[in-house]
Amino acid sequence: MSRETKREYTRQLILGLLAEKGMALGSVQITELLTDNGHNISERTVRLYLSQLDSEDLTVSHGKKGRLITDKGRIELKSTQLMNRVGYMSTKIDTMTYRMDFDLALRRGSVVVNMAIVGREILLSRLGNINRVFDQGYAMGTLVSLLEPGERIGDILVPRGAVGLCTVCSITLNGVLLKHGIPTRSIFSGLLELENGEPTRFTELINYDGTSIDPLLLFISSRQTDYMGAITNGNGRIGAGFREIPEDSYDLALSLAEKLDAIGLGAFLKIGRPSRDVFNIPVKEGSCGIVVIGGMNPVAILEETGAEVHHSALSGLMEFNRLFPYQELKDRL
C-alpha cells in the first residue's frame, strides 16, 4: 500500500468510526478502538489526523469530550466509500498483509484469520464433515482456534449461545512471502473443480479489484460450492485463490511452502513455473502463478448443510500461539 493510499485509508477509518459511534470521541478512545480492530496506530498519529480533519471542517472539536463528525465529513465519507467500493477487497488484502507480523523462523507473531459464528451444538453435529475437509487437504493448513461468547476478533463479537470458529485466512501466505522479500499480487478468488480428487479448472472467478465483498464468501452464501461432493467422492467445487509472484522468487517460494506446511500453514495447491499457465489461467510474462486453498473452505460445510451461521472473511489478526490442530476441536468444544 502506498503512503498516500495508507493516509487516505486512515482518514476514512477515523471518519467512519466517528460516524458509526454517533458521539464525540477523544484521541485516546479512537486509538483504542482502532487498535482493538487490529489497526496499528499511535495516539499521536490520531491527533495529527484529527487536527487535519478539523482544518477541513470534516470534524469539529467539543473540548474534552472529543470530536464529532460534521455533515461535510459525512458527505466526504459517503463519497469516498462509493468511489472505493470497487476494489475494496484489494485494499483490505494489502492492508492485512502489511499489518501481520508472523515470523516463520520463530513461529510467532500474528496471522490473518476468518471467523464463522455458529451454535456450539450445530458445530458439533457437523464436525465430522468439517474434519474431512481438513483431512483431504482442502483447507488452508491444519490449524484453527475457538472463541467463546464475549470474545472478539477485530470488531466482531461472539454472542451468547454461540462460538467463533477461526480458520487461517490464505492472505497469511501473502504476508509470509512479503516478509521474505516476495511481493504478491492477489488477482482473484474462484471455484476450483475437482474430478476424482484432482483439481482440473476454475469454473467461476471474481477479481479482487472488482468487488467489495470477499469472493469466496459470495460463492459460499450463494450455495455454489460443493464441498460435500469433494469429501465424499472427490467430485466437487472448492474455494481457491490465484496469485502472481516474480519469476525470480520461484525457488524461494517452493522452500517457504515446505516450511509452512511443516507447521500447519500449508495451502499452496500449485506453484507454477515462470510464465506458464496454471489450470488454464494465463500468467503474466516474468511471473509465476500460484493457486492457494481458500481459508473458509472448512466452514462452508455449515452453509451447505443448512446451518445458521455468520461468516466473516479477513476478520482480523490473531497470535499464532492461539491456534491449535483441528483434531482437537471436538475435545475443546
Residues 207 and 252 in one domain: yes
pLDDT, tens digit, 9 for 90 and up, residues 97-129: 888 999 999 999 999 999 999 999 999 999 999
Q: What's the average model confidence in pLDDT over 317-332?
A: 96
* 73 — pLDDT class (breaks 50, 70, 90): confident
DSSP class per residue in 67-119:
EEE-HHHHHHHHHHHHHHSTTHHHHHHHHHHHH---BTTTTBSEEEEEEEEE-
In a domain, 93, yes or no: no
pLDDT at 172 over 50: yes
**Domain CATH code at residue 7:** 1.10.10.10
Query: Long-range contacts for 4-11 (Cβ within 8 Å, ≥24 apart)?
Result: 5/91, 8/80, 9/91, 9/95, 10/39, 10/41, 10/45, 10/49, 11/49, 11/52, 11/53
Q: What is the pLDDT of residue 9?
A: 77
Q: What is the pLDDT of residue 83?
A: 45
* 4 — pLDDT class (breaks 50, 70, 90): low
For 123, 296, 313, 329, the CA distances from 126, given in Å and listed in that order, are: 5, 15, 20, 12
**Domain CATH code at residue 147:** 3.30.70.1360
In a domain, 92, yes or no: no
Residues 121 and 251 in one domain: yes
Residues 59 and 22 in one domain: yes
Residues 118 and 217 in one domain: yes
- pTM summary value: 0.73
**DSSP assigned state of 322:** G
Grid cell 486453498 — which residue?
293
Q: What is the pLDDT of residue 2?
A: 53
pLDDT at 178 over 60: yes
pLDDT, tens digit, 9 for 90 and up, residues 229-246: 999 999 999 999 999 999
* 85 — pLDDT class (breaks 50, 70, 90): very low
Q: Which residues span the domain enclosing 33?
A: 3-84
Q: What's the average model confidence in pLDDT over 288-304?
A: 94
pLDDT, tens digit, 9 for 90 and up, residues 209-234: 777 678 888 888 888 999 999 999 99
Q: What's the average model confidence in pLDDT over 30-47?
A: 85
Average pLDDT across the chain, whole number? 90
Residues 143 and 115 in one domain: yes
pLDDT, tens digit, 9 for 90 and up, residues 242-268: 999 999 999 999 999 999 999 999 999
* 326 — pLDDT class (breaks 50, 70, 90): very high
For 54, 64, 191, the CA distances from 220, given in Å and listed in that order, are: 43, 46, 10
Q: What's the average model confidence in pLDDT over 293-313?
A: 91
